[in-house]
Amino acid sequence: MYNGKTIELPVLSGSCGPNVIDIRSLYNETGLFTYDPGFTATASCESKITFIDGDEGILLYGGYPIQDLAEKSDFMEVSYLLLYGDLPTPQQKKEFIKNITMHTMVHEQIPSFYRGFRRDAHPMAIMVGVVGALSAFYHDSLDIHDPRQREIAAYRLVAKVPTLAAMAYKYSIGQPFVYPRNDLDYASNFLHMMFSVPTEPYEVNPILSEAMDKILILHADHEQNASTSTVRLAGSSAANPFACMAAGIAALWGPAHGGANEAALAMLQEIGSPARIKEFVNRAKDKNDPFRLMGFGHRVYKNYDPRATVMRETCHQVLKELNIHDDPLLDIAMELEQIALSDPYFIEKKLYPNVDFYSGIIFKAMGIPTSMFTVIFALARTVGWVAQWKEMICDPLQKIGRPRQLYTGVAQRPFVDITERR
């Protein structure tokens, strides 16, 4: 009831998760907007790709629990699942891998882009630039209304982002760029491009490539998070797919989002010893201190992030494989987790470790520099962004995203000439 008028708003149900109030007629019927800064209770779209139950700590890609996919599947199968809605048959998997493999090289002009950056440029700055620049090279996959061009753009993005990411690392250390190899699997190819040098053979450690593949699965998609919503909003204006993914990379960079893995490792290094954990936990609880525990808390998970559990197990496997038995950062992380999870503040606010808490320790153990952590997150999330972008483009109800506002600025007033201003 508003202004004496009663209106009915339908409630829509999905296959899982909360029902939604369909407010599409609200403004026309009442002149009212809804108000939800940060979209804490707003469903921005209908989607069939990923489901999260934050209270139960459940994450499903195409209905399959993330734990099962991490344990029993691989990143190429999961990429197919996100893009096409189900796990591939053996033949579908073979064809999909071939399509990705045949697009892993980048145009020979693209290395010139890197040479315009300083060697100490943050690799995420490079990634935002070069992924967006792909649209200048692949004019045959920019027509978003052509299903075939959308599919080729999807292949190119999933295939080329690891190549561009490894090039950003090589550029930062002054080593030559390494071409992808068609005989390696996706994760092994990335590690090969990151760590091999032209002067000697390089054998990818299968334990590390398996761990990397698992990490890519865990980061592949996550419903309508900040960077995915950015990709959808950019895509809703009919921008080309490469520009949309560059927007997603930019949004992911923030330390409140994908940049948290880099920030979490820096925090563990700043804590420095278990003796200082309490000091940092107290700072995180202090309302007057902007410090937050990086790698803790989540907008949706009010239970353990199921990805963090898998990441912690993978962390122990990788450190064991690399004979790193007393990693002080892992000791601090494990101790911090125990202290935080038993602290009434964290219990009351339901703050648990998230996917970013352990990833930095694994990447550091693999010899990956901190500045590359979020780049790897972007590499993995590219397939999720592309899947969500494709779903949005194909949605018959899709229209340009254009939120409104609650205006609290100055109401209309007459212009004042500069001679009259005091």
Residue 133: name the closest of 150, 155, 154, 109 by CA: 109
In the complex, least distance from residue 206 CB atom to ligand SDX, rounded to whole angstroms? 27
Residue 300 vs 393, nearer CB to ligand SDX: 300
In the complex, least distance from residue 284 CB atom to ligand SDX, rounded to whole angstroms? 4
| Chain residues 223-262 in contact with ligand SDX, contact rule CB under 6 A | 225, 256-258, 260
Contacts for 298 with CB less than 8 Å, ≥ 6 apart: 54, 305, 352, 354
CA separation (Å) from 273 to 68, 82, 294?
Answer: 35, 41, 16
Residue 24 vs 349, nearer CB to ligand SDX: 349
Catalytic residue at 298? yes
Residue 141 vs 224, nearer CB to ligand SDX: 224
* Positive or negative: CA dihedral 363, 368, 374, 376: negative
Told to check if 297 binds ligand SDX by CB under 6 A, we report: yes
Told to check if 126 binds ligand SDX by CB under 6 A, we report: no
For residues 345 to 384, the per-residue mask of contacts with ligand SDX, x marking binding by CB under 6 A and - elsewhere, is ----x-x--xxx----------------------------
Among 51, 64, 266, 292, binds ligand SDX (CB under 6 A): 292
In the complex, least distance from residue 402 CB atom to ligand SDX, rounded to whole angstroms? 22
Q: Hey, what are 385's tokens?
A: 């962004």
Side-chain-side CA neighbours of residue 362 (13 Å): 29
298, 305, 326, 395: the catalytic one is: 298
Residue 9 vs 226, nearer CB to ligand SDX: 226
Indicate the DSSP class of residue 200: B
Q: Hey, what are 377's tokens?
A: 């997150």
Q: Using CB atoms within 10 Å of the CB of residue 305, give its burial: 0 to 12 exposed, 13 to 18 middle, 19+ buried.
A: buried
Q: Hey, what are 251's tokens?
A: 């949004």
Determine contact, residues 305/57, Cβ cutoff 8 Å: yes
In the complex, least distance from residue 390 CB atom to ligand SDX, rounded to whole angstroms? 18
For residues 267 to 286, the per-residue mask of contacts with ligand SDX, x marking binding by CB under 6 A and - elsewhere, is -----------------x--
Residue 163 vs 261, nearer CB to ligand SDX: 261
Catalytic residue at 122? no
Task: Report H helices in 1-146.
Answer: 26-30, 66-72, 75-84, 90-101, 110-114, 123-133
Residues that bind ligand SDX (CB under 6 A): 222, 225, 256-258, 260, 284, 292-300, 349, 351, 354-356
Cite the active site residues.
298, 356
